[in-house]
Structure 1
């Protein structure tokens, strides 16, 4: 395996595990603090994620590209000077981001609280936003170090530090909340403040991991560094201009879902109240939409993009070699793998929404409805991530920025009137249309650049939807029979029913797609070995 592919694999695995942990911790957290209080956590994390993306999301890749580029031409001093000045800059950036978020906490809270009868007060929301902002002090510096080490071909420090950061955050979060609620018998608001402060504790864990790797790798890095004479040194203005050129499009990709959630955060409550929904319910509905159901829906997205994103470096390589035919072949495979996994998973979640919401959270008619209607958007979330990555691979990053801004603008314009008309479903529809617009722009640009024709993929997509339809029919029939025998009135039964239905549906989908040759065409010969081990085929 080439060093590029090996590095990409290490980063993908680390990111996948980190994201997966970032999805599943919400379930025990919910069990400790309850539905009424977890919404406060959601109000803190949406602005935090946006500020975090602006501060750091493009930095590791940008610094990595810069350092590796200049190392390749023998200018090791450029990377040394970047990390030396960048360290101070990132510390200053972290403090500025911390101060800005603290200053914006109360204005944001005033927008969110549309009525005195809502579940939370302006002060409570402002406080929780301020508590989460401490993590912004350390994270930019940490991102700089990750990018610098990646530039020297060391991808393991980034992958391991991301994982340790997430584990430390979750351990502190769950442990701290449990102690506040059950040992100290404190109030839920204090528990939620502790939970968001866990992001700062996690960043300490990630930074400590990077420090360990830095000590090990520093002799190797210093051995190749030679301080260049002043007249041969790259100007700082040129250096940082190049870094920002790399980083800005990546920042926008990282901002994607957070910007859509921010639109909901700033408009949802007021639109719901204007539409006749009680102010006492709007916080709960918002939490269901943008936290609880979103965590479940993102699980298949992470799985699907993990499979398909592994092909993106190949697309970038073929495009750099001007091998457009292989670019198209790789794109075909990327789209098909993505849809092959995401479509049945998303529609399966929608079909089993009642049992899944009951098992992960509690029995709720409204929660079931939101999850059922929101789940199909997983396909759009995955398509956005992959099409944006392809645009970066073919060096058309500026279009990512443009398409995302158009999509968010579309969501902003439609959100309030649609929520007034259809309540929570209005917000879901606005999100679907916004993402749809963004994806259409991305695909149009990709097709134009690569002269891509989607004849094969259209037939495959149709086949995937037909197979998914057969699978969903089997799932619904199975679920009907099970609930007719005994309603799923406990979490254990809800889990058993969901597992049985998912198992039957997945087996039917897998066997038929294997018999038709679709699984082998997309996932390779390894799928045959797996099928034989499971005794699904001879």
Structure 2
């Protein structure tokens, strides 16, 4: 995979992911107005646990499948590539069935164990079907990414999210009269319905694209490999990445576990805690995840690209791909973090209505966009060079630091911001440790001028633009929403004009962005 193809694939996935995230934001806006902060708290409580259970399906397996299929296709072993997909699909269906059964039959036990409100039961049950179909989607997405076909993954993401929005909000509207718990559960079922639609799209794409790859068992490059051998190959690569995904999810699961218990000790009521948690997960985390879409897409694209260069021992190409991925990530993550932080209350009011709380949580949490983005990309680079356990070790250190910081700060005066600060410090440590290891292993130079200095200068001018434009527009139109929208558009324009004319992005990268 060339540097050009790497960036093009990343931008395709990023575009689809961004569209899905925006649909997710507009899903939560009417949902929050419908069920309130308490309902959003009930809706959000099961998601960290759900994500932890799915980490093996949605992180390690797609990466392993895409890497192995990419290697098979490079040697023109089409039959071998299809066999890898078949084995991985069976493995993921088994994992999905177990996860779905655990959530459905263990809902009451989970609530008792974690001291969650009783109404959280409906949200857990509503989600319980999703693991099976999300696992199936992961197998198909790994298959298509290994074939360097990002379109099916992109289409399925958008269809999945549309289904989630329409079905989730629609069912919540019809069940709100039964109580906020029922409505939150109905919203959770939207994720299950969306995953079913996503599977349907991927199955259709599979049969369409499969016609282009004829299977010939007698082809000269076909190597007979047992299913058990493929299981071991997938497991060897997928398990450490999956554990890393689990640890990332544990970062948020820690909040679901520690926030209620520690804030109760700090004197908060159960209702007050649920409201604060709803502001964190329903608003701040939702908005933070929008710019993180690009780093997730880049991470998915870079593993097979890095693995290809590493297997050929082409260190110059490897360093070039690393530099390019990190530079583009910084150029996108830095202004996103700063912009969200500066306009946090205004963005909350724009999307959820004037007077809505959660702005201060978003202001602090948005800084994590930078650290999470870079930690993800650096971790994927390490995985692509077969250092699959190094990012896992670094992430474990970050989780431990997150637990320690959150434990002590949650009972302080900053209350739920203690959990936010814990996450920021945890991911900062992970980012630094991953960078040190990448720097040591491939000895690349990041390029201070284009990758750091120019984005920082452009971000500074972006901040100045906001500081001048926002009060001027607000006084002229007496509308916070109009001032916020115009400030965001002008700030983005100023930032990317400076990036463009300062040539922070070279010609080949610029061509990819235009496409």
Q: How far apart are the structure 2 equivalents of 1:249 and 1:515?
A: 42
**Deviation at 1:233?**
4.6
Match of 2:205 among 188, 213, 217: 213
**Deviation at 1:12?**
5.1
Q: What's 2:484 paired with?
A: 498
Q: What's 1:124 paired with?
A: 119
Q: Determine if contact 2:46/2:124 at 8 Å carries over to the other structure.
A: yes
Match of 2:110 among 86, 108, 111: 108
Q: What's 1:533 paired with?
A: none
Q: Determine if contact 1:128/1:193 at 8 Å carries over to the other structure.
A: yes
Gaps of 5+ in 2: none
Match status 1:429 vs 2:431: no
Partner SS state of residue 322, structure 1: coil
Partner SS state of residue 224, structure 1: coil
**Deviation at 1:417?**
0.3
Q: How far apart are the structure 2 equivalents of 1:411 and 1:158?
A: 33
Residues 393 and 151 from structure 1, CA distance in 2 versus in 1: closer, same or farther, beyond 3 angstroms?
closer
Match status 1:277 vs 2:268: yes
Q: What's 1:172 paired with?
A: 167
Of stretches 322-331 and 511-520 in structure 1, the one that deviates more from structure 2 is: 511-520
Q: How far apart are the structure 2 equivalents of 1:41 and 1:97?
A: 19
Q: Determine if contact 1:300/1:345 at 8 Å carries over to the other structure.
A: yes
**Deviation at 1:472?**
1.7
Q: Determine if contact 2:295/2:376 at 8 Å carries over to the other structure.
A: no
Q: What's 1:139 paired with?
A: 134
Q: Deviations over 1:59-85 (max 9, x none)?
A: 233234334544655765555555555
Q: What's 2:62 paired with?
A: 60
Q: Determine if contact 1:333/1:522 at 8 Å carries over to the other structure.
A: no
Of stretches 398-407 and 210-219 in structure 1, the one that deviates more from structure 2 is: 210-219
Residues 246 and 220 from structure 1, CA distance in 2 versus in 1: closer, same or farther, beyond 3 angstroms?
same
Gaps of 5+ in 1: 114-120, 488-492, 531-538
Q: How far apart are the structure 1 equivalents of 2:509 and 2:213?
A: 39
Q: What's 1:534 paired with?
A: none
Q: Deviations over 1:114-166 (max 9, x none)?
A: xxxxxxx6321133212211122333234334444555665544433333222
Q: What's 1:293 paired with?
A: 284
**Would you say how many aligned residue pairs link Structure 1 and Structure 2?**
510
Match of 2:192 among 200, 205, 211: 200
Residues 154 and 509 from structure 1, CA distance in 2 versus in 1: closer, same or farther, beyond 3 angstroms?
closer
Residues 32 and 448 from structure 1, CA distance in 2 versus in 1: closer, same or farther, beyond 3 angstroms?
same
Of stretches 325-334 and 171-180 in structure 1, the one that deviates more from structure 2 is: 325-334
**Deviation at 1:98?**
1.6
Match status 1:189 vs 2:175: no
Q: How far apart are the structure 1 equivalents of 2:512 and 2:82?
A: 44
More relative contact order, 1 or 2 (CA 8 Å, 6+ apart): 2
Q: What's 1:36 paired with?
A: 38
Q: How far apart are the structure 2 equivalents of 1:71 and 1:304?
A: 26
Q: What's 2:216 paired with?
A: 224
Partner SS state of residue 235, structure 2: helix
Q: How far apart are the structure 1 equivalents of 2:126 and 2:185?
A: 6
Residues 307 and 403 from structure 1, CA distance in 2 versus in 1: closer, same or farther, beyond 3 angstroms?
closer
TM-score, normalised by the number of residues in structure 1: 0.83
Q: Deviations over 1:73-126 (max 9, x none)?
A: 57655555555555554433222112222354334323543xxxxxxx632113
Q: Determine if contact 1:356/1:494 at 8 Å carries over to the other structure.
A: no
Q: Determine if contact 1:336/1:522 at 8 Å carries over to the other structure.
A: no
Match status 1:323 vs 2:309: no
Q: Determine if contact 2:344/2:363 at 8 Å carries over to the other structure.
A: yes
Partner SS state of residue 290, structure 1: helix
Residues 36 and 82 from structure 1, CA distance in 2 versus in 1: closer, same or farther, beyond 3 angstroms?
same
Q: What's 2:236 paired with?
A: 245
Match status 1:405 vs 2:396: yes
